[in-house]
Amino acid sequence: MGMFDTVVCKCFLPDRPTGINDFQTKSFGTNGIGGNMDNYTITIDGSLILHKVRMEWVEEEDRPYYGKHEWDKGGLYKMAGCMNSIPEGDEVIEHHGIIYIYTHTDDHDWVEYEIKFTDGKVVDAKRIHEDLS
């Protein structure tokens, strides 16, 4: 599994299943092995936007299970809500190259696209994988 980034794609995608806009990618990760859990949008005009955030630590007493019996179990109960994501604005990314985005449909079909950017704009998008179970 590993880390990934989320991409909301608003630009044209050929053979896009109805209602599918949210995808994952590992194309922006270090050495192609994962992402940073960042959120991107590909706009209608083909621009790539990074929605920048900074992470802020949440004190224990402000977490959802603090003071409840689950808190004493430790583990994930103590970690739940330990970080807040603080928006810091959007940045246009002048990407040049290919990214791959993928998702599953409600019918559990695998859908994957190869999207080519030149000088920060989508110049080609093609569906490269389809698993019709």
Grade residue 131 by pLDDT with cuts at 50, 70 and 90. Answer: low
Check residue 113 and give its pLDDT: 96
8 Å CB contact between 98 and 116: yes
Mean pLDDT of 1-17: 89
Q: Torsions phi, psi of 5, nearest 5?
A: -110, 155
pTM of this structure:
0.82
Report whether pLDDT(31) > 70: no
Separation of alpha carbons 91 and 115, rounded Å: 19
Q: Torsions phi, psi of 76, nearest 5?
A: -65, -30
Report whether pLDDT(5) > 90: yes
Check residue 130 and give its pLDDT: 56
Percent of the chain's residues with pLDDT above 70: 91
Q: Which DSSP string do the residues of 7-69 spell out, in sequence order?
A: EEE-S--TTPPTT--EEEE-TTSGGGS---S-EEEE-TTSBEEEEEEEEEE--GGGSTTTTSG
- pLDDT tens for 90-130 read 999 999 999 999 998 888 789 999 999 999 999 999 999 65
Percent of the chain's residues with pLDDT above 90: 76
Mean pLDDT of 71-89: 93
- Residue 80 burial (CB < 10 Å; 0-12/13-18/19+)? middle
